[in-house]
Amino acid sequence: MKRVVSISLGSSKRDHRVEAEFLGEKFRIERIGTDGDMERMIALIRELDGQVDAFGLGGMDLYIRVGTRRYLLRDAAKIARAARLTPMVDGGGLKDTLERRVIAYLAREGIVDFRGKRVLVVSAVDRFGMAEALDAAGADLICGDLIFGLGIPVPIRSLARFQRVAYLAAPLVRLLPFKLLYPTGKEQEKIDNRYQRYYEDAEIIAGDFLFIRRYLPPELPGRVIITNTVTSADIEELRRRGIKTLITTTPEFNGRSFGTNVMEGVLLTLSGKKPEEVTPEDYNRLLDWLDFKPRIVNLN
């Protein structure tokens, strides 16, 4: 049996483990949270290195991705170096393929008409492929990177403008301590309502779930959320806040949608290649065979 383990900077309360079969291959896939402790992440990776088929890097990205450029995050690189034998992926390859396909599928099947809809992507550097697909589908795109990533209350209202800002900021931002860019450990459990007006102005909110949840207003009736990595408790919380529809880009296993880093670890293992050898065409071919469909949950 193949084994894929996501070592996450996030809360251990979200840990999960399932067994599943993909293309005739049995997998045990699991997620281990370290409550914001990077040294524990490194220790766990060293302990499991060579014993599992792929690592997923959870709760953080290896790279800031803008267009065809990638900027290696300094803190993430330190953690990734702990894996010497087992390949590690951060979900970026799958975000750039699967999530583009999900947006196109939702539009093509008439499930969501993005044309003219105000869509807030909480962090476009984390989901550049999704942001591009939403823009191509006709959405009125709002990128929240300055607001939610850097605490600067300035919405970026087009993909072209976002790219210009990101090209200027990314070389410096990649050097910042990761905890300044993304909630880690107990910070993930806090709710911050300073920026709720941007949520209230949007019809669809998309991106990383913990980012979305951190700034989610107490009530947000009628909205659609596109994300992944949600637990049963998360779904009930969204229902209480009046969210109309939840769409997860990765499929459900035993009531849980895993992060893209976990699913990318599965696809990497199925490909039989090294991370640097896998192309978007490889991922798209595997996704065709797997026929993943987004999970759509009508909540209210």
CATH number, domain with residue 151: 3.40.50
Does residue 256 surpass a pLDDT of 80? no
Check whether residue 103 and residue 189 sit in a common domain: yes
Do residues 263 and 99 make contact, with C-beta atoms less than 8 angstroms apart? no
User: 62-90: per-residue pLDDT in tens?
Assistant: 998 888 889 999 999 999 999 999 999 99
In a shared domain, residues 219 and 150: yes
Sheet containing 54-58, strands listed edge to edge, beginning at the edge strand earlier in sequence: 16-22, 25-33, 2-8, 54-58, 88-89
- Give residue-wise pLDDT tens across range 144-176: 999 998 899 999 999 999 999 999 999 999 999
Same domain, yes or no, for 85 and 111?
Answer: no
* Nearest alpha-carbon partner for 103 in 294, 297, 260: 294
Instruction: Please state the rounded mean pLDDT for residues 178-204.
Output: 85
Whether residues 41 and 177 share a domain: the answer is: no
- pLDDT tens readout for residues 170-187: 999 999 988 888 777 677
What is the pLDDT of the chain when averaged over all its residues? Answer: 92
Task: State how many domains the chain has.
Answer: 2
pLDDT at 14: 84
Percent of the chain with pLDDT over 70: 100
> What are 267-299's pLDDT values in tens digits?
999 999 999 999 999 999 999 999 888 999 999
Residue 181 CB neighbour total at 10 angstroms: 22
Q: Taking Cα atoms as reference points, which of 80, 74, 162 lies closest to residue 121? A: 162
CA–CA separation, 88 and 267 (whole Å)? 12
Tokens found for residue 94: 């799958």
Same-domain pairing of 61 and 159:
no
Tell me the C-alpha distance between 146 and 27, whole Å: 39
Same domain assignment for residues 101 and 234: yes
pLDDT at position 178 is: 85
Please give the pLDDT value at position 143. Answer: 97
pLDDT score recorded for residue 59? 86
Whether residues 147 and 243 fall in one domain: yes
Residue 265 within any structural domain of the chain: yes
297 lies in some domain: no
Residues 24-77 have pLDDT tens digits of: 999 999 999 999 899 999 999 999 999 999 999 998 889 988 888 899 999 999
Nearest to 127 by CA among 199, 43, 226, 38: 226
Report the distance separating Cα 67 and Cα 126, nearest Å. 12
Cα 294-295-298 angle, rounded to 5 deg: 130
The answer to whether residue 215 is domain-embedded is: yes
- 236 shares a domain with 101: yes
Q: The domain containing residue 177 runs over which residues?
A: 95-248
197-211 average pLDDT score: 94
Task: Identify whether 42 is part of a domain.
Answer: yes
In this structure, the answer to whether residues 87 and 99 fall within a common structural domain is: no
CA gap 98, 94 in Å, rounded: 5
- Give the whole-angstrom CA distance, residue 64 versus residue 50: 27
Assess whether 154 and 27 both reside in one domain. no
Same domain, 195 and 147: yes
The verdict on 60 and 196 lying in the same domain is no
Question: What does pTM read for this prediction?
Answer: 0.90
Query: Quick check: 129 pLDDT over 80?
Result: yes
DSSP 262: H
